[in-house]
Structure 1
Amino acid sequence: MQTLYPEIKPYARHELAVQAPHVLYVDESGTPDGLPVVFIHGGPGAGCDGASRRYFDPNQYRIITFDQRGCGRSTPHASLENNTTWDLVADLELIRQHLGIEKWVLFGGSWGSTLSLAYAQTHPERVHALILRGIFLCRPQEIKWFYQEGASRMFPDYWQDYIAPIPPEERDDLVSAFYKRLSGSDQIAQMHAAKAWSTWEGRTATLRPNTQVVERFSEPQRALSIARVECHYFMNNAFLEPNQLVRDMHKIAHLPGIIVHGRYDVICPLDNAWELHQAWPNSELQIIRDAGHAAAEPGITDALVRAAEQIARRLLNLAPEEA
């Protein structure tokens, strides 16, 4: 099985001021004249880390990682102001222009797949190819499945901890109930809700229990940005029209894509990836038989690293032994 490439340090870092009050953290790794790829992280609100750049051969790729509005090293932290899907699409285009990139590969997982599709459908002429993992189409039925009823039946023990901050009389609309607390002025209630929301996601992200994933999701600062920003987006149907991403696949049907999805993904069930693949004739769907949602699962990691190698070979016209 393929594993992540060895750790590398960025060769350039940028603080890019976008719409006030946001300043984005952006870094570049790998080869400055390599094939440009942008890592589009999940959440929304999760941020990047040192592993984000390690899916790509640093001798072949110019690797761009950045923290979206309100999370990671971007400021202000956990801010909901001027924070929508279309703001993030505009940010991606600004980053591309700032770095002097004509076209790039999009690499996104979970919410990162949502944002990758939204960006590609808006700027298809700027995209070489897409590598997407854990497809999330951000439709009301998907949000209801994970945050209201569905996944709850598979993890009733974890579910009890998730709903604990919400009084029984408010549990018929959990996203709204969490939003009231996450956007309120009571900081203790806010953090209690944030940790419950984010820990639920971390606990259910992997097929086999993974304490490192759970700890990463439940770390207080990360939990706050994940919970606040996600809940803000889900209250607004991710600022998308009904079924918009599938509806508009004709705009990017010509672009090559590789879809990687765990068979036992509970956060974003496999039918999302299947439906996207049916609407995208130029895509390849890889169903990982022993994985859930997280990129850190061995089968998912293996498939993503191989996908990046495959795209590099295709776009750089390399023989397999050169990639």
Structure 2
Amino acid sequence: MARKGSWLTLAVLLLGSIQAQAQEAPGPHDRAEAVKIIAELRKIVAPEGLERTEKLRIGGIDQWVSVRSRDLRNPVLLVLHGGPGWVAMPTSWYFAHGWDEFFTVIQWDQRGAGKTYVANDPATVAPTLTVERMHADAEELVKWARKTFGKEKIFVLGHSWGSILGLTLAERHPEWLHAYIGVAQGIDARESERRGWAWTMEQARAAKNEEAIRDLDSIAPYAVGEKPLPVKDILLQRRWLNFFGGAAYRRPDASFEGAAVNLSPDYTDEEVRQVWTAQELSVERLLSAVLTADLQHVKRLKTQLILFLGRHDYNLSATVAAEWFASVKAPSKQLVWFEQSAHELMAEEPGKALLSLIRHARPIAERAGDVAPASAR
């Protein structure tokens, strides 16, 4: 009875505290309060863990990474974000929740993007924003990760534009990887653009949306020939493709994900303010070149392959990626369809993303002995 009484006393005290808080104006009242709450919720306290953001010297400039791990004995997972310039670090508090329990997760703000943009003089960096330089940066970062965390092999996950970096890296350096994980994988960019335009026009006609039909007609024939697509034409196609749900399933755009940048505990107020300016620079310098990419020549990989594709992705055609997957040879390969997603599948179905990483990627590291002992979990 004494124990029951003590529990009742504690419950009364807790209830009183909650009621007192409820009488105050509900918070958070500003970004600082919101960020503090999120940072505390995701704080890593495990003695074998690590939680840090740091500046590295890569490709002659300062570039930022974040590292999160509940146990550094777990395999390293390097995330190559999309865009160009669509940084993943500031939204990873949401979409990558729980990943650090099974992997040492590295988020990287690429050259000209996010925190890396703010850390350098844009006028100096702008001329270096080339596809070739980005490939070199990615290779340099993988070398850093392997050395820093004492890993012979790591996982690389590339999303969208990052999947072009990632698949190229997997082709050139399979000995560095446990497996390559392609998310919204890019293969034949021009064919993807053509299919995206055709699907969007089909939706516009079905909806009898005269403005969309007129805009899409104005850039036809689209993605035909060898010349790079003008950025203005790409953005016009994307405006309507997004509107009809080709980037985020049954949503008019991906602003729901972009808004999460404002709540990032990894970003300062100034970095939040600059993130979209940085993306504009990356798009201006890189997008046309990126959309000439053609990786159909990759017929065989010497590392294991995992693809995550959104069933409704027309931003970077999931059907083009699936057709390539059917023919490519690899030591093992796995395709996972996200049925309620388009292009932003990690944010659209975050639970399935985590479960798929645990089911399909982590066992590869387990077989290689690159995981924390079971007793540590």
TM value normalised by structure 2: 0.64
User: % of aligned pairs identical?
Assistant: 17
- Could you tell me which runs of 5 or more consecutive residues in structure 2 were left unpaired when the two chains were aligned: 1-40, 45-49, 262-272
Q: What do the CA deviations read for 1:256-314 (whole angstroms, capped 9, x no partner)? A: 2221212211212222221231214521112223322212454x423321222122133
- Residue 315 of structure 2 is matched in structure 1 by 267
Are residue 247 (structure 1) and residue 297 (structure 2) matched?
A: yes
Query: How many corresponding residue pairs?
Result: 295
> What is the identity, as a one-letter code, of the residue corresponding to 1:7?
R
Partner amino acid, structure 2, of 1:112: G
Q: Distance in 2 between matches of 1:159 and 1:295?
A: 30
Deviation at 1:11, TM superposition (A): 1.9
Contact 2:191 2:320 in 1 (8 A): no
Per-residue CA shift, 1:207-261, capped at 9, x if unaligned? 1226763572899854444444245334325574xx3x231241x2x42222121
Paired residue type of 2:342: G
1:232 aligns with 2:232: no
SS at match of 2:313: coil
Shift of 1:129: 0.8
Match of 1:43 in 2: 83
Tell me the SS of whatever aligns to 1:47.
coil
- Given candidates 113, 122, 141, the residue that maps to 2:172 is 122
Q: State the TM-score, normalized to the length of structure 1.
A: 0.73
Displacement of 1:137 in angstroms is 1.7
Question: Aligned partners of 1:116, 1:143: CA distance in 2, in Å?
Answer: 20
Aligned CA-pair RMSD: 4.0
Question: Given residue 272 of structure 1, which amino acid in structure 2 is its aligned partner?
Answer: V
Q: Which residue of 1 aligns with 2:115?
A: 73
Separation in structure 2 between the aligned mates of residue 90 and residue 55 of structure 1, nearest angstrom: 29
> Rg: which structure is higher?
2
Match of 2:64 among 25, 29, 46: 25
Q: Report the alpha carbon displacement of residue 198 of structure 1 after superposing the two structures with TM.
A: 7.3
Paired residues of 2:346 and 2:353 also in contact (CA < 8 A): no
Pick closer, same or farther for the CA change 1:154–1:80 going to 2, 3 Å.
farther
User: Which structure: greater helix fraction?
Assistant: 2
Q: Which residue of the partner structure matches residue 216 of structure 1?
A: 258
Q: Any gaps of 5 or more consecutive residues in structure 1? A: 1-5, 181-192
**Other structure's SS at 1:236 match:** helix
**1:111 is matched with which residue: 161, 176, 180?**
161
Instruction: Give the distance between the partners of 1:14 and 1:201, measured in 2 at CA.
Output: 37
CA distance in 2, matches of 1:288, 1:172: 31
